[in-house]
Structure 1
Amino acid sequence: MLTREEYDEAYVLRSEGWSVSAIARHLCRDRKTVRSYLEGRRKPGVRLSPEDSLQRYVPYCRQRLSDAVHLPARDLFDEIVELGYTGGYSTLTRALRKHRLRPLCPLCCRNLSVAAQTRDQQGNEHVYFTILRLLAPPPHWGWGTCAYLTVARLSSSSRWRAVLVESDDFPYVVEAIHETLRRLGGTGSAWSLDPSMAAGAGKADRVMRDFVRVADYYDVTLEIDSPTSKQTSQLSGEDLRQIMRAWRTISSTCPLPTAQDRFDQLTARLDVRRTPMPSRREANEQTRLLPLPDSAYPAQIRVMRSVTPRGLVPFRGNTYAVPSDLAGTTVEVRWRIGESHVSIATAGGALITRHALAPPGARRTVTGSREPITPDRRTRPSPRPHPVPCRGGGYLPPSPAALAEAQRLRSKDPTGTQHWPNPQARVCVSDGAPEGSSWSDRSPDQEREREDERAGDRQTAAQTAG
């Protein structure tokens, strides 16, 4: 680097007729450095970083890596060296990381799945889940002394949805989670569960492992709120008052679908009241959620029921027929979430019959079995599929676009001179000779300047040897 004083002195000496080699010897600087300052390619007092020599090769590197994502950096380094790059390999790799020149492969990078791309665009949207206990449900529901309301709330807009379930056991909670997310229109990238959701299901450790599998199935991260921390999953006081007011309006003869519709209408009214009309569109754009899987997590619900004298088994507001000789006995009703049939087995596990599932709360009596009776097998659901990793590594030849970029780089080197495959011709052109000329085609002034440079090089070598 030349300082401002050295540059001014070199400029004055050049105007007096000094050669570049003489000025370089006078300033104890490299000849190429002095020439770059005198020709205006560098500014005095400004030091070039190692990456500055790579700037002109950045378009070629970006084009090359766009065509071949898995191109090794060593092969790319060899290519740009042939194009005139004089920097080091570490400078290239550092620039690749700093400027993110290598794009991510959509096939072998899980973060580029459809859901993950949407997650990157939306940010970290959280869904907070909590469960509320409601006393004295209608007797004809068959839920006992209390009902449970599972609530899902979004962190950004505070919108929430609620689903009524008859128990806080793990299968019922999983079913309610899917229904609330379906009403919200999707899921966030992270879930936060109220600690009571895991504690109320019995064995906390086992339930936590089950919830982790559910989160993997929905491709989200799972968090459990600490009982000692602030309950971020809890609803506001106004929302709780609205829920209790809606629950008190449900009469003892109200069907279950009607009660669920009242909570759906309540959440719709609160959405309109919470968000003003001008900013409602902006709130909807900010609350874009990830898509849900095609079906819910297939957890299995198992409940014990007593057979009525008429040979009917009550389950979810409907009754299912079994042989009349089983009247008064206890049977087990099995239903896997997402299936279209329900199975009835004895207390010992022997399968009795299988019926088509009726809508919850429809008060239907299902008789006759149209489904073949086969043993139920407990299967573990597989997580959502991810793209198969690609095997596109190795060297690939440059594309036409990369070759055009390389031709542009070959047209001029960093000093603004022509590139030639012949080193002798390149030296000839870089010293100022016209394109295609030889040493004898130079002007007398160029010959004298070249001779002065050679004499200066011989004198410097003699002094170094002495």
Structure 2
Amino acid sequence: MWASTLFDEVVELGYAGGYSTFTRALRRYKARPHCEPCRASSGRDVAIIAHPPGEEIQFDWVELPDPPAEWGVGANAHLLVGALAHSGRWRAVLAEAETFPHLVQAIDAVLRRLGGTTRRWRFDRMATVCHPPTGRILPAFAAVAKYYGAGVDICPPRRGNRKGVVEKANHSAAQRWWRTVPDGISIEASQNGVDKLAV
């Protein structure tokens, strides 16, 4: 669990200290286990990619395991996350599935929550957007993008860092929100929870 998630919970219980004091105490008392994947990535070279304001929204699906059975979505809940590449501001919408109609409906809902669109949309090679082996945009999706007045960019293969902004938002949604979703909660209440976190 992220320290920020734990901090949010102890603040609700009455903790009056600051976040930096809280995390310092976590380190001092060694309350966090060692994380080898985090250790392996520290110090690695990263490329800085320019993201002008209003230029790009990065979209990605997050499959969330073990949703409440009442939702009727199967083994995974489906969350479409859209993140503004310049600012990192993000919004997310729960969908019944990852099919083309659900994707279009979720994109519209994310754009409304963000307050509009950007000039470009970036996706990985999802089959509802493009032909995965070639990266060619599907005609049906090209029509959707044209309706919203946006161009579409597809990430090159094995270039996950090209969508780093949305990947960070995915991690935040999964760690800070999904882990705290109780059993028996409605989809609407869950959507309100992710909206609250994103704001």
TM-score bracket for this pair, using the shorter chain length: 0.5 to 0.7
Cα pair distance change 1:187/1:237, threshold 3 Å: closer
1:51-110: CA deviation from partner (whole Å, max 9, x where unpaired): xxxxxxxxxxxxxxxxxxxxxxxxxxxxxxxxxxxxxxxxxxxxxxxxxxxxxxxxxxxx
Structure 2 CA distance for aligned equivalents of residues 202 and 262 of structure 1: 33
Give structure 2 stretches of 5+ with no counterpart.
Answer: 1-51
Task: Give the corresponding residue for 1:132.
Answer: 62
Write the distance in 2 (CA, Å) between the matches of 1:163 and 1:130: 11
Query: Structure 1's 255 and 124: CA in aligned 2 closer, same or farther, altered over 3 A?
Result: closer
| CA deviation vs aligned residue, 1:287-314 (integer Å, no higher than 9, x gap) | xxxxxxxxxxxxxxxxxxxxxxxxxxxx
Q: Distance in 1 between matches of 2:75 and 2:65?
A: 6
**Equivalent residue number for residue 302 of structure 1:** none
Paired with 1:258 and 1:147, the residues of 2 have a C-alpha distance of 14
Paired AA for residue 157 in structure 2: P
- Partners of 1:198 and 1:204 within 8 A in 2: no
Answer yes or no: is 1:248 the counterpart of 2:179: yes
CA RMSD of aligned residues (A): 2.9
Say which SS state the counterpart of residue 251 (structure 1) adopts: coil
Q: Which amino acid aligns with 1:170?
A: F
Matched letter for residue 248 of structure 1: R
Q: TM-score scaled to structure 2, two decimals?
A: 0.65
Query: What CA distance in whole angstroms lies between the structure 2 residues aligned with 1:252 and 1:203?
Result: 39
For residues 128-160 of structure 1, the C-alpha deviation after alignment (integer angstroms, 9 at most, x for no partner) is 111111111111111111111101111111100
Question: What is the letter of the counterpart of residue 185 of structure 2?
Answer: C
Equivalent position of 2:113 in the other structure: 183
Say if 2:99 is the partner of 1:166: no
Q: Give the counterpart letter for 1:159 in structure 2.
A: R
Map 1:325-404; keep pairs closer than 5 Å. Answer: none
Compared with structure 1, are the counterparts of its residues 267 and 145 closer, same or farther at alpha carbon in structure 2 (3 Å cutoff)?
A: same
Q: Deviations over 1:396-442 (max 9, x none)?
A: xxxxxxxxxxxxxxxxxxxxxxxxxxxxxxxxxxxxxxxxxxxxxxx
Choose from 171, 180, 188 the match for 1:257: 188
2:81 match: secondary structure: strand
Question: Structure 1 residues 160, 197: CA separation in 2 closer, same or farther (over 3 Å shift)?
Answer: farther
Percentage identity across paired residues of the two chains: 33
CA distance in 2, matches of 1:141, 1:200: 29
Q: Is the 8 A contact 1:128 1:232 kept in 2?
A: no
Q: 1:210 aligns with which of 137, 140, 145?
A: 140
Measure how far apart 1:248 and its partner are.
2.0
The change in CA–CA distance for 1:168 and 1:183 in structure 2 (over 3 A counts) is: same
The verdict on how the C-alpha distance between 1:203 and 1:170 changes in structure 2, with shifts beyond 3 A counting, is: farther
The 8 Å contact of residues 191 and 221 in structure 1, kept in 2 or not, is answered as yes
Bigger relative contact order, structure 1 or 2, given CA contacts below 8 A and separation 6+? Answer: 2
1:419-438 to 2 correspondence within 5 Å?
A: none
Residue pair 1:152, 1:180 contacting (<8 A) in 2 also? yes
One-letter amino acid of the counterpart of residue 262, structure 1: G
Letter in 1 for 2:86: S
In the aligned structure 1, how far is the partner of 2:131 from the partner of 2:83? 21
Name the CA shift for 1:177/1:251 in 2 (closer, same or farther; >3 Å).
Answer: same
Q: CA deviation at 1:231?
A: 3.4
Summarize deviations over 1:194-221 as a string: whole Å, max 9, x none. Answer: 2236479999989722111111111111
Residues 259, 156 of structure 1: CA spacing in aligned structure 2 closer, same or farther, 3 A cutoff?
Answer: same
Residues 167, 236 of structure 1: alpha-carbon distance in 2 compared, 3 angstrom cutoff: closer
Q: TM-score, normalised by structure 1?
A: 0.29
Contact kept, 8 Å, 1:135 with 1:147, in 2: the verdict is: yes
Quick one: distance in 2 between partners of 1:218 and 1:199?
15
CA distance, structure 1, for counterparts of residue 62 and residue 169 of structure 2: 15
Give the one of 190, 212, 223 matched to 2:153. Answer: 223
Rounded Cα–Cα distance in structure 2 between residues aligned with 1:237 and 1:123: 18
**Distance (Å, rounded) in 2 between the aligned partners of 1:262 and 1:123:** 27
- 1:197–1:188 distance in 2 versus 1, CA, 3 Å: farther
The answer (yes or no) to whether the contact 2:173–2:194 under 8 Å persists in 1 is no
SS at structure 1 position matched to 2:79: strand
Partner SS, residue 222 of structure 1: strand
| Partner secondary structure for residue 128 of structure 1 | strand
One-letter amino acid of the structure 2 residue matched with residue 196 of structure 1:
M
1:155 pairs with 2:85: yes
Quote the offset at 1:181 in angstroms. 0.5
**Secondary structure of the structure 1 residue equivalent to 2:126:** helix
Structure-1 separation of matches of 2:102 and 2:134: 16
State the AA in 1 paired with 2:177.
Answer: A
Query: After the TM superposition, which of the residue ranges 245-254 and 165-174 deviates more from structure 2?
Result: 245-254
